[in-house]
Amino acid sequence: MGITGGIAAYKAPMLVRLLVKAGAEVTCAVTEHALQFVTELTLETVSGHRVYKDLFDRQNPHSTEHISLKDWGDAMVVAPATANIIGKMASGIADDALSTLLLSFRKPLFLAPAMNTQMLESPALKRNIEMLRADGVNIIESTSGELACGTSGDGRMEEPENIAKALEETLTANSRCNGKRVLITAGPTYEKIDAVRFIGNFSTGKMGFALAEELALRGFEVVLVAGPTHLTAHHPNIERIDVTSAREMYDAATTHFPSCDAAILSAAVADFRPDHQADYKIKKQSDSDDMTLHLVQNPDILATLGKMKHDGQVLAGFALETDNELENAKKKLTKKNLDFIVLNSLHDKGAGFGHDTNKVTIIDRNGSITVGELKSKQAVAIDIADKLAALISS
């Protein structure tokens, strides 16, 4: 648990107690300013652990606590989180013990902001919060009420009981994902015409890679079948299989699906391929102004997995539509035997191929429809992962 220098820090020991009572082991990392509001002795007493506050601890000169603590915790919550720590996190600044730990922490991270209303409403703070949300940080919104400065308004830290509840809900959902296997397809496929040419599409794989990272972060073992893309997968729980054509993607997906608990197919698979693929470069014909390619249909990977699916497996796909979007997506959901489908409309600006943002509607087989806002692909990945986590646990 991180604690920074705001008046709400006086509630931090209560949160530590609630977490300990719920069965968690807690270590506190504090800023210098936090210790103006709460004592080290109080935190050590309620947590039963030494407080981490100094990057250059003279008693432990070779300490790399900011590195070992990042592996120690299953999750981290900063409560209260001041505008200052939020700004540092959004910019990657690491100039003290807590900010250095936060920069290296790669597991579920929660922030409970607390500050004066004017600070909360400042454009810089709003921008920083959005950046952190896009990075996958869970923001526990502040509430409205009396503030330390004597005024009343937004900016009060959420009550410790509710912070503990938010942590518990997410960690419980994540623990159900722990060790489960999920298959993801991502990126385009290239269908070879000859030795130097192919039929492809504009997919970059960003959405599928964001999903793979988010699911790995939640404890899933991810099998990522990727079409040609320059993207890199970072999380050690991601096993990446590179393929080029739809048929290679089909082979990899059908091989791995039986050992998986879920699959989300986000790849933009070419529906057709040239029936003949030359292993030399096709020459221009001097006596002809046109050229005809004969295409044959590729296997539908998602529909095949829909037929293979057994009880307990969750299957999801994407639908990229230009007309009658909802109706077409629902048809695909039924036809391919999916549990949910993520609809992308080409009419939405900033959504779809190549963009860093996306706007999706999630439709499940029970008819529930969730229309999302335009957000970063990382934030969309969080929504999709939430949907999967809910279905996998039920």
Parallel, antiparallel or unpaired: strands 221-226 and 181-186: parallel
Q: Cβ of residue 303: shortest distance to ligand CTP, in angstroms?
A: 7
Contact positions toward ligand CTP, by CB under 6 A?
Answer: 185, 246, 265, 267, 269, 271, 298, 300-302, 317-320, 332
Q: Cβ of residue 239: shortest distance to ligand CTP, in angstroms?
A: 19
Q: Cβ of residue 97: shortest distance to ligand CTP, in angstroms?
A: 45
Distance of CA 207 to the CA centre of its chain: 10
Q: Which is nearer to ligand CTP, 162 or 337 (CB)?
A: 337
Q: Which is nearer to ligand CTP, 182 or 319 (CB)?
A: 319
Whole-angstrom distance, CA of residue 92 vs CA of residue 69: 18
- Structure token pair of residue 28: 């506190």
Q: Cβ of residue 234: shortest distance to ligand CTP, in angstroms?
A: 23
Phi, psi of 23, rounded to the nearest 5 degrees: 105, 5
Q: Cβ of residue 342: shortest distance to ligand CTP, in angstroms?
A: 8
Q: Among 15, 4, 76, 74, which residue's Cα sits nearest to residue 46?
A: 15
Residue type, 25: E
Q: Which is nearer to ligand CTP, 18 or 301 (CB)?
A: 301
Q: 3 pairs with which residues across the strands?
A: 30
Which stretches of the chain are DSSP H helices? Answer: 12-21, 40-47, 65-72, 83-91, 97-104, 117-120, 123-134, 160-177, 206-217, 246-256, 301-308, 325-335, 377-393
Phi, psi of 66, rounded to the nearest 5 degrees: -65, -25
- Cβ-proximal residues to 286 (8 Å cutoff; 6+ apart), any chain: none
Q: Which residues are identified as catalytic?
A: 149
Q: Which is nearer to ligand CTP, 89 or 302 (CB)?
A: 302
Q: Cβ of residue 294: shortest distance to ligand CTP, in angstroms?
A: 18
Does residue 7 contact residue 33 with C-beta atoms inside 8 Å?
A: no
**How large is the C-alpha radius of gyration of the chain?**
25
Q: Which is nearer to ligand CTP, 105 or 198 (CB)?
A: 198
Q: Which is nearer to ligand CTP, 66 or 273 (CB)?
A: 273
Does residue 42 contact residue 80 with C-beta atoms inside 8 Å?
A: no
DSSP-derived secondary structure for 120-139? HTSHHHHHHHHHHHHTTPEE
Residue type, 235: H
Q: Which is nearer to ligand CTP, 73 or 317 (CB)?
A: 317
3-class DSSP state of 361: strand
Q: Cβ of residue 277: shortest distance to ligand CTP, in angstroms?
A: 17
